[in-house]
Structure 1
Amino acid sequence: MSESEEDVDLPRFFKVFLSETASESMAIPMSFIEHLEDPLPQTAKLQGIGGGVWTVSFKKIRDCAYFTSGWSKFAEDHELKDGEFLTFVYDGSHTFEVSVFGRSGCKEIRAEVETVELSDANSDKEEEDSSVVADSNEEEEEGDDDSSFIAGEDDEVSQSLSHVDSDDTVSNAEGFSNLEVESNPCFTTTLKNRIYELLIPANVVKEHGLTFCDRIKYIDGEGIMHGAKGKWSDDRICFKGWDRICRRNRLKERDTVHCEMFHIRNKVHTIKIRVTRGRG
């Protein structure tokens, strides 16, 4: 899958792994430090394309920044060898997506998080259909119908092959819940009549002065999906493809969805989703 325009815009750097200097810590290029927060956060997250997330310490020594505690575990789990090439893509909020390129020059998936596939597709569909329940009491949905939606330029919704860890994953994904950062705008939502779009609350947009990429990433416990931006007739912002998130998380009427928006200079590029199950 080719990188979207928004992905290309994210700040990034590369390093060649040398065990002599990078087994216990990894230096960040000095020219990249301008993209980091000041003061430097105590920890960062390294998200491997195999699905795991590692917590590492940030340390500043003189004018240089380093990944320290936790880096050796990341290097060990990915079986890094001298001369291999790593790319680090920064989301602007404590998280780096790290890709490993072997000596052949090809990207390699390592330290892959094990996923479980459901065997009965028919029962899955029945459960998914039963979980999509109309909730006409939601204030956001009153007076809204499909004719009020104006599609963005690209209505395509695509699912990538990469996976991130779920809340139930123990192994290397331990500590993933710490990815939530207080500085990231958040809101909650529930199952709506209109499951095809995720509506961004207007008060959150206004309070934080947010703008949005034309396509954003949804990140949940199963992986990454993409949604195209749209706008309702009253100028509220929404994103398509939300029905796929609802179905694969088997949302029910009493469930609450916590949405955390990751941004660079107030421009949102990713929404991380966490579901709290309701009782009954």
Structure 2
Amino acid sequence: MADDSELYPRFFKVFLVESASESLMIPLPFMAFLADPLPKTVKLQGLGGKLWTVSLKKISGAAYLTRGWPKFAEEHELKNGEFMTFVYDGHRTFEVSVFDRWGSKEVRAEIQAIPLSDSDSDSVVEDEKDSTDVVEDDDDEDEDEDEDDDGSFDEDEEISQSLYPIDEETATDAAVFEGNLDVEALTNPHFPTTLKNRIYELLIPANVVKDNNLEFGSSIKYIDGEGTLVGLRGKWADKRVCFKGWDRICRRNRLKKHQDTVECELLHDDQKMVHSIRVHVLRRDA
């Protein structure tokens, strides 16, 4: 388990129109936290919930955010003298906070919550390349259902790859989350799960929450090989912690019954507030 005082690596930058409108240089000391060789792209997650794919290039020994950065700057309406903090999760995603010239944190480039009913979940997922969906579910499901019920998609529910074409970048990302994961090497709290009858919500085991003194907010960010998806917290009479939108993670990763296991890694800050769930898909041959 990581030490309580451990923080994700971070840096801050002042936005100057003349030098940062087209590209942004990452501080040289911070390059020690980046992979070598540099990944071709990284994700920028704004406080408004949206996600941008930005090219990362090495120029004269320094790393620069290039293609995609002008769009991020424009949509955040960055002004001369404002500054930003970049928090790196270690897996090609930066959470970016924007502050005005007086030091007040600004929430910009917000996305709208997308209501999602159970019937809507069977439809093709929208393109998520440059944005993060926020998933709500207003349908109240039976709260008495056993959390450990086994379940799976029927054969006619299994999603073919043609519905989810994977480009070269996505396939590269997916390799991070699939394969021979060394579960014992994970330093964050984690737990395994498989397909359940209750596929629309992910239930966080009570013992994991209690043993690690974890706290949860009103939403969570799922991180898998295809990007990021935000799920809103569900309501249970017994106060169990669960988050909606899990069915979309299962479907877009094409999980198979009795074969695939998902190791859910809970990413939290130094106050034990969980902000993200990193999804590791473990495939097993039939």
TM-score, normalised relative to structure 2: 0.55
Deviation by residue 1:132-178 (Cα, 9 ceiling, x = unmatched): 4665558xxxxxxxxxxxxxxxxxxxxxxxxxxxxxxxxxxxx9967
Contact 2:264 2:278 (8 Å CA) reproduced: yes
Kindly indicate whether the alpha-carbon contact (under 8 Å) linking 1:91 and 1:262 is maintained by their aligned counterparts in 2.
Answer: no
Which residues of 2 match residues 263-274 of structure 1 at below 5 A? 270-272=276-278
Is residue 258–residue 274 contact of structure 1 (8 Å, CA) maintained in 2? yes
Is 1:249 the counterpart of 2:248? The answer is no
Alpha-carbon deviations, 1:179-201, whole Å to 9, x = none?
A: 9442346776222799451899x
1:118 and 1:271 map into 2 onto residues whose CA distance is 20
Distance 1:65 1:274 in 2: 28
Contact 2:44 2:96 in 1 (8 A): yes
**Of 20, 24, 27, which aligns to 1:22?**
20
Give distance in 1, aligned partners of 2:172 and 2:107: 22
Confirm or deny that 1:219 pairs with 2:221.
yes
Q: Distance in 2 between matches of 1:224 and 1:14?
A: 29
What whole-Å deviation, never above 9, does each CA across 1:210-250 have from its counterpart, x for those lacking one? Answer: xx97648852333477xxxxxxxxxxxxxxx97412xx337
User: Any unmatched runs of 5+ in structure 1?
Assistant: 139-174, 201-211, 226-240, 276-280
What number of residue pairs does the alignment pair up? 199
Q: Which amino acid aligns with 1:190?
A: L
User: How far apart, CA to CA, are the structure 2 residues paired with 1:61 and 1:179?
Assistant: 23
Can you list the C-alpha shifts for 1:41-74, whole angstroms capped at 9, x where unaligned?
Answer: 1100000010110001111112211001110111
Q: Is the 8 A contact 1:6 1:269 kept in 2?
A: no
> Which residue is 2:84 aligned to?
86
Residue 57 of structure 1 aligns to a residue in which SS? strand
The worse-fitting range, judged by mean Cα deviation, of 183-192 and 92-101 is: 183-192
1:35 aligned partner? 33
**Cα root mean square deviation, aligned:** 4.5
Structure 2: gaps (5+ residues): 118-136, 152-167, 182-191, 223-228, 234-238, 256-260, 268-273, 282-286
Within the candidate set 44, 47, 56, 2:45 is matched to 47
Which of 183, 194, 203 lines up with 1:189 in the alignment?
194
Q: In the TM superposition, what are the counterparts of 1:198-209 in structure 2 within 5 Å?
A: none
Distance 1:195 1:262 in 2: 12
**Residue 124 of structure 1: CA displacement?**
3.7
The correspondence of residues 59-138 of structure 1 with structure 2, limited to 5 A, is: 59-116=57-114, 124=138, 126=140, 128-129=141-142, 132=145, 136=149
**Sequence identity (%):** 42
Please name the residue that 1:205 is paired with. Answer: none
Query: Quick one: distance in 1 between partners of 2:5 and 2:139?
Result: 33
